[in-house]
Structure 1
Amino acid sequence: FPAVNLHAFLYTAGTVQDLNNLLATNPGWILQTATGINNAGQIVGYGTINGQIHAFLLTPLH
């Protein structure tokens, strides 16, 4: 099977943003799937760090 590079994204007002590009620093994460967003703008999903799959919670800096 070919390798698949998944990236979590946010679609707002006709614009797609790769969530990996929105991280304040490069913590080694590859955010692969966003599964939900709440009214506070927090985004949850799954990604990999150090080759292992983990859940993530992104909280916007307002």
Structure 2
Amino acid sequence: MGNTYTTELPSANRIFKSSVFTMLYSDPKEALQLYNAVNGTEYKDPELLEINTLEYPICIRL
């Protein structure tokens, strides 16, 4: 039988990850690019975006 190796992954710092995401996508050009990629659209004018950011988002798990 072979050796079994296990690696413990570090836990994610959700606040840091959230703030990086918020910082990156607060730029309308970047947010529009993400929106187009996710939705398969080709919108061009980032000035038409309205960016709303929740300060304390709520996450509900069932």
Report the TM-score, using the length of structure 1 for normalisation: 0.25
Report the TM-score, using the length of structure 2 for normalisation: 0.25
Higher helix share: 2
Larger radius of gyration: 2
Higher strand share: 1
